[in-house]
Structure 1
């Protein structure tokens, strides 16, 4: 059987590269990376990109993947590059108005090229929660267009929320062999800490900021390892029934923050300081930030969303694709910090 071609927009990024790795291991699919044209590679040309099989520096295995260079501002250019493609998975990360333009062009080019399935860049919160985060308005615009295309019968599509990246639990600092394992668990994730601060090497005890619910309790949080996202996407491609413009959520594990903190303490063999914060206090923190403070505002708004239950994602793919066994919080913590 000839493998189906799957194009990954942003396939060299953190999430995209793990989708590429997962597709590479399946005999049913062949990944194609879409990358923005540059001075050395004009649009509608192709080359090969070397992908490491793991972010663990002790693992030297690599493989070559075809890269097609595209002009995301041109639907015609994208349509040409998508000839013969079965599905397009977007993992683009462009925090600007171009995120809308690029993804809508990618959607329309997919339709023009006869692509069967499309997934916009998601891999975070559920659609309803995007209304609580300023920068996520772009995702709402794109998803509305995607659903409209599905309703017209132009293409099949789905969004793939995954909750909070479990890899936040590996942010910090360690030494020697522990540092190697921590970096491997990060899986290329390079963002700063958010709510969870597990590193015992930062000059104090590990700590967690807990956004309290309206009732004053600890919220539940869905966390998924970035490395498992690719596995879920491969499994989703094998679903025979239409994606149908649905949110096909994936969940590494959903736990109350009390349980996660307990696991942190057991693995780190150290008390974890708990710092609770109310909605009112978070709002005051947000009000103290300028509109230009984009990243700090995102952190506060995501934390606020978590306190409202917005970090919980229904594991639709967990039910539909039971062959995928995602990493649990305890397994991840033991990998990153286990002694």
Structure 2
């Protein structure tokens, strides 16, 4: 049985999404989770309590030798690491070279988010990608590589709808996750491990809009029109990644973009107002507004600069930057991702 290695796979977001999808949607693959610790998170104990199909292997990400040993018998390596200490690009390169040495067939570095132009145009994304893809291309005769891109995580819409469920004790959360396939009903199922890092002024941690408080901050183009945005839920990202494992050799494209739904900010607003039954307070920001803001921000204020750069990217409204091509949707036509309206109705009305 082939093995998928998920680097950083104990994470509550992408690691959980990919692993739970693998356990639920295929019996043809098992998973090895690479981690700095062998301690299994609660969600993993909920979905694979006896470790029948998953195994955690402790690694030193800065050691190719350590990674090489951990990748024994692995077919495909997908990285979801998020090292914010400056080592993220080197970790991806080490994983790549260890995968080549171990004879792995496929590798995907941890570059989740915008399309290929986004990694070139958005300065705040470069901390994670510096030289990584170029290194992948240099190894393309030895290993098949791709970048998985999904746009904005749809789960930002879920922030602030529910009380934070982390207050549930460990025993209760384990039982709830067993019942929910690795997710607790409520906040956890809506946000799917996505941290409350958005910059919405209500402090909910949402990005672009908050359903509970009925507010939105949308970038608007100079001609007065609303730009487009591609959103995909974390669970659907996991499903697409797992579906890609069964594509024949050579069918992985350099950019395996996936799309939950692409729509304009205006359409996003219309769905939100229809589902919540209220008129939203909308703040529209222009390119000039955002350029003035970023000029005032400290270079050390990473998150504020990132959100501002993202909104500037939306105003550019470019294909392959913030508007993604449904490459994986076409390669895996039986996989039907959740759309924005369905997400809102599921979690806003289901609270």
Partner of 1:106: 95
TM-superposed CA distance for 1:280, in Å, is 0.8
Shift of 1:197: 2.0
Distance in structure 1 (CA, Å) of the matches to 2:81 and 2:163: 33
CA distance in structure 1 between the aligned counterparts of 2:137 and 2:252, rounded to whole angstroms: 8
Q: Structure 1 length as normaliser, TM-score?
A: 0.87
Q: Does 1:169 align with 2:157?
A: yes
Aligned residue number for residue 342 of structure 2: 331
C-alpha change, 1:197 and 1:176, in structure 2 (3 Å) is closer
Q: Pairwise mapping of residues 96-175 of structure 1 onto structure 2 (< 5 A)?
A: 96-137=85-126, 138-150=128-140, 153-174=141-162
User: What is the DSSP-based 3-state SS (H/G/I as helix, E as strand, rest coil) of the residue aligned with 1:52?
Assistant: helix
Give the superposition deviation at 1:238.
1.0
In the TM superposition, what are the counterparts of 1:282-297 in structure 2 within 5 Å? 282-297=290-305
Aligned-pair distance for 1:274? 1.9
Flag structure 2 segments of 5+ consecutive residues without an equivalent: 166-183, 197-204
d(CA) in 1 for partners of 2:134, 2:259 = 23
Alignment of 1:1-339 (within 5 A): 3-13=1-11, 14-25=13-24, 26-37=26-37, 47=38, 49=40, 52=43, 63=49, 64=51, 65-137=54-126, 138-150=128-140, 153-174=141-162, 181-191=186-196, 192-200=205-213, 206-243=214-251, 246-309=254-317, 310-338=321-349
1:160 is paired with a residue whose SS is strand
Measured against aligned partners, the alpha-carbon deviations of 1:2-60 in whole angstroms (never above 9, x if no partner) come to: x21100001011111110111122111101100025xxxxxxxxx57255279xxxxx6
Quick check: which one's strand share is greater? Answer: 1
8 Å contact kept, 1:123–1:162: yes
SS of the residue 1:274 aligns to: strand
Q: CA RMSD in A?
A: 2.2
Q: Which residue of 1 aligns with 2:168?
A: none
Q: Which runs of 5+ in 1 are unaligned?
A: 38-46, 55-59, 201-205
1:211–1:219: 8 Å Cα contact kept in structure 2? yes
Once the two structures are TM-superposed, the CA of residue 213 in structure 1 deviates from its matched residue by 2.4
Q: TM-score, normalised by structure 2?
A: 0.84
**Deviation by residue 1:110-166 (Cα, 9 ceiling, x = unmatched):** 00000000001122101211233323113252112112211xx01001111000000
